[in-house]
Amino acid sequence: MIRTSESDHQHRRTRTVAPAGAQSVDVATKPQAMTSLDASAVSRLLREFGQRTALRPGNPYRAKAYARAADNLLALSLPLEEVIAQDRLHDIPGVGDAIAGIIERLHRTGTHPALESMRKEVPQGVLELLTIPGLRPDKVLKLHKELGVSSLVELEDAVRAGRLRKIKGLGAAFETKILQGLEIRRKAEGQRHLHRAAELLKTAERHLKGAGLGVVRVTPAGEFRRGCELVRGLSLVVEVKILTDGPQTLAASDQLTVHLTDARRYGITLLLATGSQTHVELLRRLAAEKSMALSNDGLRRRGKSLPAATEEQIYAALGLPFIPPELREGTNEIARALAGTLPALVTDEDIRGILHAHTDRSDGADTLEAMAEATRSRGYEYFGVADHSKSAHYAGGLTVDEINEQHAEIDRLNAKYGDRFLIFKGIESDILPDGSLDYPDNVLATFDFVVASVHGRFNLDRKSQTERILSAVANPYTTILGHMTGRQLLRRPGYEIDLEKVLAACARHGVAVEINANPWRLDLDWRWHEKAIALGCLMSINPDAHSTSEINLTHWGVEMARKGGVPRQKVLNSLSLSAFRKHLKSRRTFVRPGSV
Ligand SMILES: [Zn+2]
Ligand SMILES: [Zn+2]
Cα–Cα dist 61/514, whole Å: 32
How many angstroms separate the alpha carbon of residue 516 from the centre of ligand 1? 9
Cα–Cα dist 82/252, whole Å: 14
How many angstroms separate the alpha carbon of residue 262 from the centre of ligand 1? 46
How many angstroms separate the alpha carbon of residue 439 from the centre of ligand 1? 16
Q: CATH number of the domain at 193-338, out of 3.30.210.10, 2.60.40.10, 3.40.50.720, 3.20.20.140?
A: 3.30.210.10
Strands 449-453 and 422-430: parallel
- pTM for the complete prediction? 0.83
How many angstroms separate the alpha carbon of residue 489 from the centre of ligand 2? 16
Domain boundaries, the chain: 32-184, 193-338, 348-587
Q: Which residues contact 470 (CB under 8 A, 6 or more apart)?
A: 435, 501, 502, 505
Coil vs helix vs strand at 555: helix
Q: What size, in residues, is the chain?
A: 596
How many angstroms separate the alpha carbon of residue 543 from the centre of ligand 1? 11
How many angstroms separate the alpha carbon of residue 220 from the centre of ligand 2? 30
Cα–Cα dist 108/438, whole Å: 59
How many angstroms separate the alpha carbon of residue 389 from the centre of ligand 1? 10
Q: Identify the pLDDT of residue 255.
A: 82
- Of the listed ligands, the closest to the CA of 452 is 1
Instruction: Check if the beta carbon of residue 235 is closer than 8 Å to that of residue 221.
Output: yes
How many angstroms separate the alpha carbon of residue 408 from the centre of ligand 2? 22
- Of the listed ligands, the closest to the CA of 387 is 2
Cα–Cα dist 298/310, whole Å: 10
How many angstroms separate the alpha carbon of residue 177 from the centre of ligand 2? 23
Q: Identify the pLDDT of residue 472.
A: 98
How many angstroms separate the alpha carbon of residue 447 from the centre of ligand 2? 16
- Kindly give the confidence (pLDDT) of every residue in the chain, 596 residues in length, as a single tens digit, with 9 standing for 90 and above: 333 333 333 333 222 223 333 333 333 333 444 468 889 899 999 999 999 999 998 877 888 899 999 988 888 878 899 889 989 899 888 899 999 999 999 999 999 999 999 999 999 989 989 888 878 899 999 999 999 999 988 999 998 888 888 888 888 888 888 888 888 888 777 899 999 999 989 988 988 888 778 899 999 999 999 999 999 999 999 999 988 877 888 877 778 899 999 999 999 999 999 999 999 999 999 999 999 999 999 999 998 999 999 999 999 999 999 999 999 999 999 999 999 999 999 999 999 999 999 999 999 999 999 999 999 999 999 999 999 999 998 889 999 999 999 999 999 999 999 888 999 999 999 999 999 999 999 999 999 999 999 999 998 999 999 999 999 999 999 999 999 999 999 888 899 999 999 999 999 999 999 999 999 999 999 999 999 999 999 999 999 999 999 999 999 999 999 999 999 999 999 999 999 999 999 887 544 444 44
List the CATH code of the domain at 32-184: 1.10.150.110
Query: Angle, to 10 degrees, between the axis of helix 97-109 and the axis of helix 39-54?
Result: 120
Q: Identify the pLDDT of residue 338.
A: 96
- Of the listed ligands, the closest to the CA of 456 is 1
Instruction: Check if the beta carbon of residue 541 is closer than 8 Å to that of residue 561.
Output: yes
How many angstroms separate the alpha carbon of residue 188 from the centre of ligand 1? 24
Q: Tell me the residue ranges of DSSP E strands in 297-352.
A: 298-301, 304-305
How many angstroms separate the alpha carbon of residue 62 from the centre of ligand 2? 27
CB burial of residue 112 (10 Å; 0-12, 13-18, 19+): buried
Q: Identify the pLDDT of residue 590.
A: 44
List the CATH code of the domain at 348-587: 3.20.20.140
Q: Identify the pLDDT of residue 76.
A: 82
How many angstroms separate the alpha carbon of residue 116 from the centre of ligand 2? 43
Q: What angle do CA 21, 212, 31 make, to 5 degrees?
A: 45
Cα–Cα dist 439/429, whole Å: 8
H or E element, residue 155:
helix 152-160
- Of the listed ligands, the closest to the CA of 358 is 2
How many angstroms separate the alpha carbon of residue 455 from the centre of ligand 2? 9
Q: What angle do CA 21, 22, 23 make, to 5 degrees?
A: 115
Q: Identify the pLDDT of residue 6.
A: 31
- Of the listed ligands, the closest to the CA of 427 is 2
How many angstroms separate the alpha carbon of residue 312 from the centre of ligand 1? 40
Q: Identify the pLDDT of residue 589.
A: 54
How many angstroms separate the alpha carbon of residue 395 from the centre of ligand 1? 10
* Percent composition of the chain: helix, strand, coil (DSSP 3-state, to 5): 50, 15, 40
How many angstroms separate the alpha carbon of residue 353 from the centre of ligand 1? 19
